[in-house]
């Protein structure tokens, strides 16, 4: 995402609401967005060149941004249907190390599991998914 597109998204942030799951019987209007998660989809040509075919932009509220930065929760996010589910790491059967697990197909939208991808929101320079405000600060420096 270039700097102009990032600034435009941040300028339009006031009208956005969090797109992540907050549980049953909740309204998106109750969770105004304060930032975006931006993840580019693409491929590497070599160690220097990367091609981002498109970018997934997800508005997040302050509560979700805090949860994604902490060590208590892991987010499962499906690329296919844009659904999300939170896992409390202490209560989970499995040991989750990553903040976001990206699914290609989930039980809600598909009978076929297409893959699992992960990355850390906390790593700034080398990670693929990052908060847009952090990304804007890095490019300004």
Residue 32, token pair as written in the block: 């105004």
C-alpha to C-alpha distance for 133 and 65, rounded to whole angstroms: 11
The phi and psi torsions of 139 (rounded to 5 degrees) equal: -75, -25
Over its length of 141 residues, how does the chain's per-residue pLDDT go in tens digits?
677 777 777 888 888 999 999 988 888 788 999 988 888 777 677 877 777 677 888 999 999 999 988 899 999 999 888 899 999 999 999 998 888 888 888 888 877 777 777 655 554 343 434 566 665 554 444
């Amino acid at each position: 995402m270039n700097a102009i597109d990032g600034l435009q998204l941040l300028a339009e942030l006031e009208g956005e609401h969090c797109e992540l799951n907050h549980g049953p019987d909740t309204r998106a209007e109750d969770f105004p967005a304060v930032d975006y998660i931006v993840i580019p989809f693409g491929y590497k040509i070599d160690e220097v060149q990367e091609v981002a075919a498109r970018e997934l932009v997800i508005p997040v509220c302050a509560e979700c941004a805090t949860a994604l930065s902490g060590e208590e929760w892991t987010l499962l996010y499906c690329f296919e249907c844009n659904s999300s589910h939170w896992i409390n790491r202490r209560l989970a059967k499995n040991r989750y190390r990553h903040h976001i697990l990206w699914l290609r197909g989930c039980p809600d939208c598909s009978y076929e599991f297409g893959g699992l991808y992960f990355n850390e929101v906390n790593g700034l320079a080398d990670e693929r998914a990052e908060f847009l405000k952090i990304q804007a600060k890095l490019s300004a420096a």
